[in-house]
A and B are shown apart, each in its own frame.
Chain A
Amino acid sequence: MLQGITRTGPFEWEVPIGYVGGMRVPGRFFLSDQLAETLEPGAVQQLANVATMPGIVKNSLAMPDIHWGYGFPIGGVAAFGMDEGVISPGGVGFDINCGVRILSTPLTVKDLSKKHELIEDLFTAVPTGVGAKSTLRLEPKELSGMLTSGARWAVEHGYGIEEDIRHCEEQGAMANADPSAVSQKARLRGMPQSGTLGAGNHFLELQVVREIYDLEAARAFGISAGQVCIMIHCGSRGLGHQVCTDHLKILEGATKKYGMNLPDRQLACAPLSSPEGRAYFGAMAASANYAWANRQVIMHMVRGVFARMFSIGHEEMHLIYDVAHNVAKFEEHQIDGRRRKVCVHRKGATRAFGPGSPDLPAEYATTGQPVIIPGSMGTASYLLHGTDLAMDRTFGSTCHGAGRVMSRTKAKKQLSGHEVKEALAREGILIRAHHNGAIADEAPDVYKPSDEVVRVVHEAGISRRVARFVPLGVIKG
């Protein structure tokens, strides 16, 4: 382990105040000995940098998929007090409400005799890759509807069913979204991209439930061994990216205006109560809503393909849940013996609310919130549930994925997209992408093993395993 960091539990480490100058609270991260071998000093530095921000409460946290990002580390979680705290786009990221959803089908593997055809149909139905344009023809008024109402806008326009909304974090729309804080530039980027998957690590994956760890929770989530499910991973596209860029510029000025001294310009922030801070929150919430509408529209396209090919109804394919990975939200947490409203930033981290938490639908009230952890391409994904311990230790948060360990430059040099594709095909996993470079870049070897990351959050108790899924086919963005 890096010098100056102390172990405080089997999977817990503390970065003491003083690790970098100006820290207001200690840093804390969750990691196994195996994962500690690939911990980057830059990521710990970023975790410590976050601890210097005004109004930070309790700890600057990182989940076991921690890695070097910009501003906050990826896997970073931090909460800020309402009076003295700040909000920062560096704690959310460019891809606002990048997130993931999983839907179940009534099918099992033996129903997939035409898997190749299914993958091709999904690839045709869902626009993917750089420069992809939507099949939706949005009017400006409709875009405003998406920004305000999120997944509800989509359902009201025929893209989905009522139950879908209850099975989204925040019911698929954050309150207090402010479309007027979303620039014309962001709107221009967002109009042709709603209902597109995007590129990079975004994907659509056909999976099968391979293992059940918690039968009761699995029953509540509506899944059983051998069942075919579909996972969708994407975010707010160019609209969210532009909102981040626009407000980063405004908040850079605000950082100076409010006399704040920060170790990284990407941590630019403003007091939560300031006009600049409120404008960013409103625009960010609107972008998050756009992302929920986006995933809802994509899921509708997926349901359409399955309905045609297998003669099943849309209502037979249940959205289990939808979670955000990159977002800042106002939440109430028990801090130092009292309930406090704070602004929780999660950057590459998943909300993992425990049993009985508000915002959970009645059917998940006793299990805790479903938590979806996608594996890297070709590796296992997991469904977990949130816990009381997460509420106590991590502001109800857990990991979001596997976390990269190999740079993209190295991946391109060492791995051939064609070979990766062939190797996965031998394991029965079909990959469909616009070009092989995208496959090499997201190959299983470039990520930490998802099994180990999930084992850490399970053992540490900040979420608990419910089921494990293995991939059958992947549409790469």
Chain B
Amino acid sequence: MHLIPDVMSFEELEHTADIRVRVKAGSLEDLFSEAARALMVIMYGVADPGILRRHVEVEGRDIISLMHAFLSEVLFVSEVDDLVVSGAEVRLSGTGLEGDLFGEPFSREKHLSGMEVKGISFSGLSIASGNHTYTLEVTFDV
């Protein structure tokens, strides 16, 4: 089982029409992992660790578009492979990323209490760092 360090967390922020979340992590790599988990918890209500793994590779033009591309890929993989992602182990190189998503299979008994996310918005997508913490704010269109 993959343990999620205490420093990683996310919270929902106020947004009238969509879902806006703030994600925190101790490293940039963990920020990507926790952002993936946040997306899945919003979509499925729960995202527990599991035995499934799926390799992903994405490119961006900068860190913002890399995060956008990564979360869009998580959304795609989750829907097409019926995978509820609970975290990711990723390696960053410049504006590229590769690594594994892991989680459990989607189940209509367990995973129906969330909201369907249609896409990851660029509007207000921000990544900040300070005090050994990376903070992401992102809006999911639901």
Contacts and interface: CB of A to CB of B under 8 A. Distances in A.
Interface of A: 40, 67-71, 74, 90, 93-95, 129-131, 185, 188-189, 198-200, 238, 241-242, 244-245, 248-249, 252-253, 264-266, 268, 404-410, 434-435, 437-438, 441, 477
Nearest to A244: B119
Nearest to B84: A131
Contacts of A410: 14
Contacts of B17: 67-69, 74, 404
B16 A241 contact: no
B123 A266 contact: yes
State the majority secondary structure of interface residues on A: mixed
A249 B115 contact: no
Interface string B39-78: 0000111000000000000000100110011001001100
B89 interface: no
Nearest to A446: B16
B116 A130 contact: yes
Interface stretch (B1-9, B26-34, B105-113, B127-135): B105-113
Given A130-B43, A408-B18, 16 more contacts: A67-B16, A70-B18, A70-B139, A93-B118, A94-B118, A129-B112, A130-B111, A130-B115, A131-B79, A198-B116, A248-B122, A249-B69, A249-B72, A252-B61, A266-B123, A408-B19
Contacts of A252: 61, 65, 122
Interface of B: 12-19, 43-45, 61, 64-65, 68-69, 72, 75-76, 79-80, 82, 106, 108, 111-116, 118-125, 139, 141-142
A207 to B, nearest CB: 24
A408 B15 contact: yes
B12 A409 contact: yes
A261 to B, nearest CB: 15
Given A67-B17, A129-B112, A130-B112, A241 B119 contact: yes
B44, B61, B119, B120: residue with the most chain A Cβ atoms closer than 10 Å: B119
A71 B123 contact: yes
A311 to B, nearest CB: 33
A45 to B, nearest CB: 11
Contacts of A409: 12-15
Contacts of B45: 437
Nearest to B45: A437
A434 B112 contact: yes
A435 B121 CA distance: 26
A36 B123 CA distance: 24
Nearest to A245: B72
B26 to A, nearest CB: 25
